[in-house]
Structure 1
Amino acid sequence: MGVPLWGNLQRDYNTAYNMSAPYVSGSWEVTPSLNVDASVRWDFGQVNGTYSGGTTVRKDMNNDGVILASEEKVASIDYASTKPVNYKYNYGSFSLGANYKLQENQSVFARYSSGATTKADRILFTSNVLADGSIRGVKDQIDQAELGYKGNLGFGGLFVTAFYSRVNEQGGFEATTQRVIANHYRSFGLEIETIVKLSKAFTINASATLTDAKITQGANQGNFPRRQSPFIFTLLPSYTAGPLSIGVSTIGTAGSYTQDVNQLKMKGYVIFNPYINYRFSSFLTGTISGNNITNTLGLTEAEDSSITDNATNIVRARSITGRTISASLLLTF
């Protein structure tokens, strides 16, 4: 249940969700080198309740007996037009995987999964809710395949996963833009993780994900999905010597589009998060850490889709946290 009231997003909903999800899973050692696992789940539920959108009314907010200009249109919830919510849903999910051991410290694996997710309150206030409270497009379908390699090698570890995924997004309400988002996507990608042990004291952890994602249906077919970076990475070198431990976590991302029309792009960025730990004794540890130490401006999402020439443009965007530095003492007893 919620009663948000701010700006142009005044609304009320009172809904009850009754959900069940029985499942069964199992694994088999087919040979000493080959393991197979599988799982099946069935989700079903029933949703009942009501919801009301926004309206404006003439109201004497300060009770002075006079309707001022600012009181001619007061944001309010339209309880006179309360609408029902009354629908059921059900869908099946499954996952099938196999792991084959090449050597004692190396293996390859494969997995295929199919499932879905429902939208809950995100589907309210959209055209997907019909007059009788029933729903169309209640779930988003997700299918994914993976093929990978895992190795515990002499220098450390290496993990590589190639993936393919397909998403059928039926439509959900985005409160900030007052739009219903409905798209089909597909993506290919490669994830790489590694741990490199240069010495007993010096270790490097790193990861990178490359993604080629496209919208496959609708007006934006062929475009990149919004906010989907084609490349992200992390890098964490660390050094430990006795009671001292130091390192710096580096996180980077390439640019991405603000919206599916691919007209406005957010720049990529890299942030650095250093830390120093010192163990004074078995029960006292001190830490100094920094977040985004270079105070980089990084935008994670924006609602506006384009910039209009020869006009005043205001872009609403969300940024990462700016530079912060903290110090702490941990006492263990």
Structure 2
Amino acid sequence: MRLSTVFTAALLVTTAAVPAYARDDAAAPDAADKQEGEAPAPAAKTFTTGVAKGRDLLDTAISASVLDDHDLAQLSVSSIAGIMQNIPGIRSETSDIDGYSAITIRGLPLAAEGSKFLQLQEDGLPVLEFGDIQFAGIDQFLRADLTLSQVQAIRGGSASTFASNSPGGLINFISRTGETKGGTVQVSSGVGHDLKRIDFAYGSPLGNGWRFHVGGFYRSGEGPRELGFNGFEGGQIKANLTKEFEGGYIRFYGKYLDDRQPNYSTLPVTVGGTDADPQIGFLPGYDIREQAYLSPLTRSYAEVDANNRPVVIDAADGLAAKVAAFGLEAQFDVAGFTVTNRFRFSDISGAYNDAVPFVTAPAPFFAQFGGPGAQLSYAAGPNSGQAITDARLLALSVRLHADLESLDNATNDLRATRVWEVGEGKLTTTAGVYTSLQQIRMFWNFTSTLQDLAGGGRNAPVNITTATGVPVTDAGTLAYGFAVGLPFSIYHNRYDVDYDVLAPYGSVNFQIGKLAIGASVRWDKGDVSGQVFSPGFGDGRALFAPVDVNGNGQISVAESRVPILPLTRPVAVDYDYDYLSWSAGVNYRFAESLSAFARYSRGGRASAENVIGTETLDPLTGRPNNPDLLISIVKQAEAGVKYRKGGLSLFLTGFWASTDERNAQITADATGQAFVQQIERTYSAKGLEFEGEWRRGPFTLTAGATWTDASIDEDLIDPAFNGLTPRHIPDFAFFLRPSAEFGKVTFGAAVNGTTESFAQDTNQLAQPGYVIVSPFVQFRPAEGVTVALNAFNVFDELAVVSLQAPTIPASGLTNAQVMNGRTVTASLRYAF
């Protein structure tokens, strides 16, 4: 099904999802609709995501959460993954940037970066069809700003049948639609760091059933870590126009995002103590909570592009995202049926840039690459040409660049719902069809460079010269490719693939008195076609050629073996897949304030381009060489109780989840060096999710917690992993948001914590837990004016997101990704 077919279908129906968030401002009013800082009264929030019909949470057999605009203002984070850390059941690893986040749910494995089992939506449609496209994390193309009305999350339940590729759950970021007249302008600035931002939002009824909303943001600055240049640059604008009429509405909307941000990935740290109680420290002068890896001297380097032509890559683009999207959604009543449809086309592109220390060691270690008597010297900066004769630490870096040429997608979701009177009960039936076309046009390669670790935005490239004066490096580049050879040298690939998805679905729900019983089913069918270029196909050896990459008219040592793509020998991709998902549940409302539910679900997840690489694609058939790679099945059972009365609400859910996973994950050997590991396993997890809110007078306390017991049930490649705990899955994680409002002043804090987990699946090195406290204060000196101060991680906690080594290496060095240290932001907001 081509893009034109999807678009034509949307226009013929002229509809789009009903969602109860067609009136989302009723649940989350615009800024002018209430006094700044005023806590919203406790309410039965209607939940619309991943269900057939919007209902009170106490009437639904699902485990779900809602964050409204009041909640979002208290979080002290702006990233999508940072927001998700405040939803029970979600494991979201982030450095508070949008992208390079590993996200999972209910103990399902973090086998790769991205979000494999959890779908992220914007206004009810997926941002990307697949959440784990290599070097294209789904949150890279989504931003939170003042246009965001609320965040709805469903864990398990009917998520697998009301959306494709979402067997674990889904999270929907819902925009404002301008039901009430008013707007907000906010300016903010880092305190002690350079990052300035302006946000605006305005919406209003226009008369005759018309209303609109428009808003966005722009930001610029170095950011909270020292780079030596602006790491953040860009913003977005969103707008929608709605016409309401008797029996329905129609809405047109658009979005333009053009933003880049630094990639705060893994950096070197010291590690001592024992595996059970490691002591994480920093290299001299290199506190990675405040330091970045790039600098003005290392941001640019030479490489070859997707057409084997020399190119200069500017890694300052970091995680770059460009999205131009338009859509329509509508609702009509036709012959007793409520017909709804949502359609969106998104033109998506961007870039992924990373620089990871692959080997960190004293300078003499790297001289061996030039043979006996080789010399080291600086390749740029104020010390350019100066010899390095001591044992200062240097790092051999893996520079990774991915050109995300096109991740365009077109999606359409059409459904019809009707409520039937059956005896003393009500039967709700829904039938729908979802279509999607997802493109993946991208190219990525590796480069190996040598640099020092001066820090403070002063890191400089380092050259190696033989004893006879022959350059081994080009301006710090040791190899155009991966310096250590196969298998990494084949990681130089170009994809041109389309994923065409068709998914009919349906549900029934019967409610009689206090009892509601429901079930839903979905059948997903995908057709995959296109081609892949990779030097790893063919005779099984990487393809190299001499290329004058730096354009100086000579072929250097590094330029003598440059990986190039076999542009005349593409490998065709041509296969299809299908899977069935279903879910059934029961809910009983004992009283107005109390209900209980139980549910069992089976959902599928199709694999994206990670199954058409050189290790997995059969170049003769165009299909993955193992049919089991195509689909992962997630099974979940859950039961819970929900209580809400007065100012108190309490939700508790017990769950069990299992999946099979065939993937590749980046891990490390005993020395701490990274390598790619193929896995073929089954996993399971059981646990409890808790979420509650208490309000009394000026005081509010919101809390959530997740206890998880996860296991690798069976490893079909290496049985030694059987029974071990998957990496990065802690036993316990929690969040707290206490706040108090006294007249013109509101103050409180967001507290996030987790217990320790294992750094890798071998279950040796413990990854320390952490507690991050982020207080805020808001002062309203005049009507509509709010001055605020937010301090993320006020106690400067070392919060480790990821440790690379499986055990403490003999060198005492490994790589770690950490959250930012103390980061203070001041803001001035005017609501009118």
Q: Under a length normalisation based on structure 1, what TM-score does the superposition of the two structures give? A: 0.92
- Is 2:516 aligned against 1:24? no
Matched, 1:69 2:566: no
Structure 2 CA distance for partners of 1:256 and 1:235, relative to 1, 3 Å: same
| Identity within the alignment, % | 32
**Number of equivalences:** 329
> Corresponding residue for 1:12?
494
CA contact (8 A) 1:123 1:173 kept: no
**In structure 2, what is the Cα distance between the partners aligned to 1:64 and 1:192?**
63
Please name the residue that 2:713 is paired with: 216
TM-superposed CA distance for 1:182, in Å, is: 2.7
- Specify the SS of the correspondent of 1:66: coil
Q: Within 5 Å, which residues of 2 pair with 1:258-273?
A: 258-273=759-774
Partner of 1:323: 822
The correspondence for 1:133, drawn from 611, 614, 622, is: 622
Q: Which amino acid aligns with 1:222?
A: G
Aligned to 1:312: 811
**1:90 to 1:330, Cα distance in 2 relative to 1, 3 A:** same
Q: Which letter maps to 1:51? A: V
Q: Unpaired runs of 5+ in structure 2?
A: 1-440, 448-481, 483-490, 536-541, 668-673
Q: Which 5+ residue runs of structure 1 have no aligned equivalent? A: none
Q: Which residue matches 1:189?
A: 687
Contact kept, 8 Å, 1:166 with 1:185, in 2: the verdict is yes
Q: Given the alignment of the two structures, is residue 149 of structure 1 paired with residue 668 of structure 2, yes or no?
A: no
Q: Report which stretch shifted further, 129-138 or 85-94.
A: 129-138
Alignment-derived partner of residue 276 in structure 1: 777
Moved more, 124-133 or 100-109: 124-133
1:13 and 1:314 map into 2 onto residues whose CA distance is 36
Q: Structure 1 residue 172: deviation in Å?
A: 4.3
Question: Which whole-Å CA distance do the structure 2 matches of 1:37 and 1:282 have between them?
Answer: 48
- Post-superposition shift, 1:125? 1.6
Counterpart AA for 1:257: F
Q: Is the 8 A contact 1:174 1:181 kept in 2?
A: no
Q: TM-score, normalised by structure 2?
A: 0.38
Distance 2:823 2:582 in 1: 44
Quote the Cα distance in structure 2 between the aligned partners of 1:256 and 1:207: 19
Looking at structure 2, the residues matched to 192 and 222 of structure 1 have their Cα atoms a distance apart, in angstroms, of 26
Which residue of 769, 784, 792 maps to 1:291? 792
Q: Secondary structure at the match of 1:196?
A: strand
Q: Is the 8 A contact 1:125 1:173 kept in 2?
A: no
- Tell me which amino acid in the other structure corresponds to 2:596: V
Which stretch shows the higher mean deviation, 255-264 or 39-48? 255-264
- For 1:79 and 1:317, the matched residues in 2 are separated by 37
CA distance in 1, matches of 2:676, 2:614: 9
CA RMSD of superposed structures (Å): 2.1
What letter corresponds to residue 59 of structure 1 in structure 2?
Answer: V
Correspondence 1:30-69 to 2 at 5 A: 31-54=512-535, 55=542, 56-69=544-557
Is contact 1:214-1:223 (8 Å) kept?
yes
Contact 2:534 2:614 in 1 (8 A): no
- CA deviation digits over 1:208-248, x for unaligned, max 9? 11111110101211000111111101111110122321111
In structure 2, how many angstroms separate the alpha carbons of the residues matched to 1:257 and 1:10?
A: 31
Q: Secondary structure at the match of 1:315?
A: strand
Provide closer, same or farther for how the CA distance between residues 293 and 147 of structure 1 changes in structure 2, counting only shifts above 3 A.
same
CA distance in 2, matches of 1:323, 1:75: 42
Partner of 2:610: 122
- Residue 676 of structure 2 corresponds to 178
Structure having the larger proportion of residues in helix? 2
- Measured in 1, the distance between the counterparts of 2:510 and 2:661 equals 34
1:191 maps to a residue whose letter is: E
Q: Name which structure has the greater RCO, CA cutoff 8 Å, separation 6+.
A: 2
Instruction: Tell whether the 8 Å contact from 2:637 to 2:657 is kept in structure 1 after alignment.
Output: yes
Ranges of 4+ aligned residues in structure 1 off by more than 4 Å: 172-176
Q: Distance in 2 between matches of 1:179 and 1:12?
A: 21
Kept after mapping to 2: 8 A contact 1:187/1:213: yes
* Contact 2:664 2:676 survives alignment (8 Å): no
Answer with 80-89 or 230-239: which moved more. Answer: 80-89
For the residues of structure 1 that align with 2:614 and 2:713, how far apart are their CA atoms? 23
Aligned partner of 2:601 among 105, 110, 113 = 113
- Alpha-carbon spacing, 1:280–1:24, altered in 2? closer, same or farther (3 Å): farther
Aligned equivalents of 1:224 and 1:316: distance in 2? Answer: 21
